[in-house]
Amino acid sequence: MAVHEMDHPLILHKLSLMRDKQTGVKEFREATREIAMLMCYEATRDLPLKTIEIETPVAHARVRVISGKKIAIVPILRAGLGMVDGMLELIPTAKVGHLGMYRDPDTLKPVSYYCKMPQDIAERDCLIVDPMLATGGSSAAGIQVLKDMGVKHIKLMCLLAAPEGLALIQQEHPDVEIFVAAVDERLNDHGYIVPGLGDAGDRIFGTK
């Protein structure tokens, strides 16, 4: 399935702000929200439309509206939370499911600690959001959780990806479309994306 890498100047400019180690919590958080909103515009490009009839102040008109597609936004905690508000600004009726996962610092494997989904999750198209796709383990596990709940259509939206993470998702979940603001060079020995932006969760929440 396709990997969509963003080339919009606004996205790339805001991403550069996030990469800079001098950027503080407030600006980092704002840029996360704003890039998520801009990427949401791209990721919803294929939403189906239907035609309805309305009266404008001037005339009768046939106009197009989104055809009632049910969407769920699923952030991977913690860092994915920083992307949710930007997405909800564009899709205010979306429901939100939460997946709690952290990466074990020694094994780099994801450890799941929380899962709360809308009851009708199996009938919804899901957009998983997490700023970082490093080894890909967390996102791959998150996708599997949704598939096990019966979800048929899943998109993954990340700000930064390592080639290793993209390869894992494409191998384990070839049906999942990926939206990423930028693909970086590689992972370092600690599983951090290089050049990257550091620890996204710590920088969004100010925990380091």
Residues known to be catalytic: 103, 107, 199, 202
Question: 94, 134, 145, 204: which one contacts ligand URA (CB under 6 A)?
Answer: 134
Question: 31, 74, 130, 181: which one contacts ligand PRP (CB under 6 A)?
Answer: 130
79-118 positions binding ligand URA, by CB under 6 A: 79
Q: Is 140 in the site for ligand URA (CB under 6 A)?
A: no
Whole-number minimum distance, CB 92 to ligand PRP, in Å?
Answer: 25
154-173 positions binding ligand PRP, by CB under 6 A: 165
Cα angle for residues 4, 42, 19 (degrees, 5° grid) = 65
Q: How far is C-alpha 97 from the chain's CA centre?
A: 13
Q: Is 192 in the site for ligand URA (CB under 6 A)?
A: yes
Contacted entry of ligand URA, ligand PRP, none for residue 133, CB cut-off 5 to 8 Å set by kind: ligand PRP
Closest CA to 197 of 14, 42, 8, 5: 14
What is the maximal distance between C-alpha atoms in the chain? Answer: 66
Whole-number minimum distance, CB 44 to ligand PRP, in Å?
Answer: 22
- Alpha-carbon distance of 1 to 178, in angstroms, equals 8
The number of residues that bind ligand URA (CB under 6 A) is 10
Report residue 96 as tokens.
């939100």
Q: Is 146 in the site for ligand PRP (CB under 6 A)?
A: no
- x/- map, 68-107, ligand PRP, by CB under 6 A: --------xxxx---------------------xxx----
Q: How far is C-alpha 156 from the chain's CA centre?
A: 5
Torsion angle defined by CA atoms of residues 44, 68, 130 and 147, in that order, rounded to the nearest 10 degrees: -120
Q: Which helix (H) or strand (E) holds 49?
A: strand 49-55
Question: 40, 133, 160, 178: which one contacts ligand PRP (CB under 6 A)?
Answer: 133
- x/- map, 4-43, ligand PRP, by CB under 6 A: ----------------------------------------
DSSP string, 55-105: E-SSSEEEEEEE----EEEEEEETTTHHHHHHHHHH-TT-EE-EEEEEE-T
Strands 49-55 and 3-5, bridge-based pairing: unpaired
Residues that bind ligand PRP (CB under 6 A): 76-79, 101-103, 108, 110, 130-139, 165, 191, 199-201
Q: Which residues bind ligand URA (CB under 6 A)?
A: 79, 132, 134, 191-193, 196, 199-201
